Amino acid sequence: MTELHHLGVAELAALLQSKQVSAVEVATRFLARLGGNPHNAFLDIDSEVTLAQARESDAKLANGTAGPLEGVPIAHKDVFVTKDLVTTAGSRILNGYRSPFDATVVARLRQAGMVTLGKLNCDEFAMGSANENSAYGAVSNPWNPAHVPGGSSGGSAAAVAARLTPAATGTDTGGSIRQPAAFCGITGIKPTYGRASRYGMVAYASSLDQAGPMARSAEDCALLLSAMCAPDLDRDSTSLDVAQENFSATLGHSLQGLRVGVPAEFFGDGLAADVRRAIEAALKQLQALGATLVPIGLPRTELSIPVYYIIAPAEASSNLSRFDGVKFGHRAADFADLNDMYKKTRAEGFGQEVKRRIMTGAYVLSHGYYDAYYLQAQKIRRMIADDFQSAFASCDVIAGPVAPTTAWKLGDKADDPVASYLADIFTLPASLAGLPCMSLPVGLGDGGLPVGLQLIGNYLQEAKLLNVAHQFQLATEHHTQQPGAAA
Amino acid sequence: MSLTTTDIARIANLARLELQAEESARMLDQINAFFDIVTQISRVDTSGVLPMAHPLDAMPTMPPIHLRLRPDVASEPNDREANQRSAPAVERGLFLVPKVIE
């Protein structure tokens, strides 16, 4: 039998349901791989908590009350609050924080039977594209440890790629699931805004934040997404009132006649040659599977950068005002008065990128600048959303690169925030519109670093995206490739 | 348009962030570099376009969503101890803050 850590979610679930392996055996195998914290992917591990859940799962498997994913391990990005493990969101200000409750997504996955392996490193408050903004150190890319894993769900992507966990949760505000999935050669999906509950997700930019699964295949992502998403109307005011869906049901549909929109703006001069080659080959593969390529336009792609980096920091500056050293988290030791306590606490607790975004956000919302920046950005946001609706008149899904390049070297953009923002160009438009979108591996670029294909669907079309990705993965083997470090 | 040191000091105060001099100078350069790419938004003609605050607002197939409120009934148990577990300073079930009224 293949070693347990090489198996995906569907395979492990089958072995567990047929009692060929126990949840405790699976958990023990994965916990053993976490020693020394490879790639600095994890922020909290508590084997007692994990094994207790695994024993509970074994009892359910024995008495016939098992959930569909009973005993399959998962690790959670550290922006999901957890009762039994520390939650820091990658920030010093939440060092040692223990939540009184589990996030809805965490609770739902446990309900489906999944066993928590630990909490995963990420950019502080999910702000970053390289996982270098974590207060607990950078994460390295399993394909080449001198390179970044992407961000902000960098720990999630690295852990799945290195076979430290078969699955992870991520969150995506401007590309934070898709870009690290692309950089680490795994599969990840951000559902339609409102599909997954945001209850218990440490808020960054509330009109953009969305949870999603990261795993090794579209088939696994479909199982995870089906368990994660359901209405949470009493706890999340933006939770969509649409019935829970089985995203695995339509994976087998043929791609014959599928219209794939290819936006010209995603293939400009900024696109690296190795990424272009891999993406074009993937598009040819989709054609071979029966799809037709349709040229489309998303004319405001470039504008999505300033629009996103106005709106997200504006929302962040408001959301992060809760970190004041009173109810939870760090408090400065010496201060003159209450105001001074706030200022010193926040100065000590927040990292540079978080401070920059809070400052930018406070500025664009401040008196005299609100109309010119924040309101103007919100208007262009609607134009970007409308552009997608025009595009979907002639296609069923949109395909293009996730990022202009493969993973860059650690430190390369660390001192140049704008360079890092510009690299988000292809993931921001779908985020601003709130559309479902995913990344799947389509081969290796120069230096053996993975390239990700982005698929974008219309609202609530997650099943279509997963169907396209699954059919692609049935016909290709890119998603089965693994970094040398994973053996 | 460029921000000045005075702007940085004003915003830092609004955002309740204490910045060291060297940190302020770096922040000024980096935020100005960002505003260089922001200028393009002012050239976009947005007359007649409604601001979009929320993706649900753009979904053609969804009924318009208003801020949803749950029924005003007590649903959560009183769990003060768990809620205060990570507070920096607590006494007799109360959060402690520096004196604000003389």
Q: Per the CB < 8 Å rule, is A360 touching B31?
A: yes
State if pTM tops 0.95.
yes
Residues of A recognised as catalytic: 77, 152, 176
- Choose from B1, B41, B73, B85 for mutation: most chain A CBs within 10 A: B41
Residue B65: pLDDT over 70: no
List of E strands, A32-111: 42-44, 73-77
- Choose from A360, A424, A431 for mutation: most chain B CBs within 10 A: A360
Please name the member of B12, B38, B55 whose beta carbon is closest to the beta carbon of A359.
B12
Polymer length in residues for chain A = 487
- Write the DSSP assignment of B59-102 as a string of letters: -TTSPPPPPP---SS--S---HHHHTTT-SSEETTEE-------
CB atoms within 10 A of CB A23: 28
Angular region, A231: left φ>0, alpha ψ -120 to 50, beta rest: beta
Question: What pLDDT, on a 0 to 100 scale, did the predictor assign at position B56?
Answer: 83
Say which DSSP state A141 is in. B
Question: What pLDDT, on a 0 to 100 scale, did the predictor assign at position B64?
Answer: 60
Is residue B24 a part of any domain in this protein? yes
Is residue B12 a part of any domain in this protein? yes
Q: Which domain holds residue B20?
A: 1-44
User: For residue B23, what is the enclosing H or E element?
Assistant: helix B21-38
Measured CA to CA, the distance from residue B1 to residue A108 in angstroms comes to 48
Contact A208, A431 (CB under 8 A): yes
Give yes or no for a cis peptide into A439 (omega within 30° of 0). no
- CATH number of the domain where residue B27 is located: 1.10.20.60
Structure tokens at A168: 């992870």
Q: Per the CB < 8 Å rule, is A193 touching B55?
A: yes
Q: Which residues of B touch A433 (CB under 8 A)?
A: 55, 58
Structure tokens at B19: 């910045």
Residue position matching structure tokens 């001099």: B21
Of A95, A75, A1, A80, the residue nearest A34 (C-alpha): A75
Measured CA to CA, the distance from residue A138 to residue A180 in angstroms comes to 13
Structure tokens at A165: 């966990």
Is residue B93 a part of any domain in this protein? no
Contact B18, A346 (CB under 8 A): yes
Give yes or no for a cis peptide into A152 (omega within 30° of 0). yes
Q: Which residues of A touch B73 (CB under 8 A)?
A: none
Polymer length in residues for chain B = 102
Rounded mean pLDDT of A460-477? 98
- With a pLDDT cut of 70, the percent of chain A lying above it is 99
Question: What pLDDT, on a 0 to 100 scale, did the predictor assign at position A425?
Answer: 97
Residue A314: pLDDT over 60: yes
DSSP H helices in A94-193? 104-111, 154-161, 178-184
Q: Is A369 in a helix, a strand, or coil?
A: coil
Rounded mean pLDDT of B30-35? 94
- Phi and psi at residue A62, to the nearest 5°: -75, -35
At A214, is the pLDDT very low, low, confident or very high (cuts 50, 70, 90)? very high
Question: What pLDDT, on a 0 to 100 scale, did the predictor assign at position A288?
Answer: 98
Please name the member of B50, B67, B89 whose beta carbon is closest to the beta carbon of A331.
B89
Contact A428, A303 (CB under 8 A): no
Is residue B33 a part of any domain in this protein? yes
For chain B positions 20-79, those within 8 Å of chain A (CB to CB) are 23, 27, 30-31, 33-34, 36-38, 40-42, 44, 46, 49-56, 58-62, 65, 67-70, 75, 79
Measured CA to CA, the distance from residue A296 to residue A290 in angstroms comes to 19
Q: Per the CB < 8 Å rule, is A389 touching B60?
A: yes
Question: What pLDDT, on a 0 to 100 scale, did the predictor assign at position A415?
Answer: 86
Residue A368: pLDDT over 70: yes
Is residue B85 a part of any domain in this protein? no
3-state secondary structure A144-161: ECCECCCCCCHHHHHHHH
CATH H-level superfamily of A4-257+482-486: Amidase signature (AS) domain (3.90.1300.10)
As for how many domains chain B has, the answer is 1
Question: What pLDDT, on a 0 to 100 scale, did the predictor assign at position B102?
Answer: 73
Contact A197, A105 (CB under 8 A): yes
Q: Identity (one letter) of the amino acid at A373? A: Y
Q: Per the CB < 8 Å rule, is A306 touching B37?
A: yes
Name beta bridge partners: B94: B91
User: For residue A215, what is the enclosing H or E element?
Assistant: strand A210-215
Nearest chain A residue to B67, by CA? A237
At B99, is the pLDDT very low, low, confident or very high (cuts 50, 70, 90)? confident
* Residue A175: alpha-carbon gap to chain centroid: 7
Contact A208, A432 (CB under 8 A): yes
Measured CA to CA, the distance from residue A42 to residue A60 in angstroms comes to 28
Rounded mean pLDDT of A116-128? 98
Burial of B22 (0-12, 13-18, 19+ CB in 10 A): exposed
- Choose from B1, B5, B17, B83 for mutation: most chain A CBs within 10 A: B17
At A486, is the pLDDT very low, low, confident or very high (cuts 50, 70, 90)? low
Is residue B94 a part of any domain in this protein? no
Structure tokens at B87: 């507070």
Interface A–B counts its CB contacts (< 8 A) at 180
* Residue B74: alpha-carbon gap to chain centroid: 28
Residue A485: pLDDT over 60: no
Of A434, A417, A414, A400, the residue nearest A182 (C-alpha): A400
Of A63, A64, A92, the residue nearest A78 (C-alpha): A92
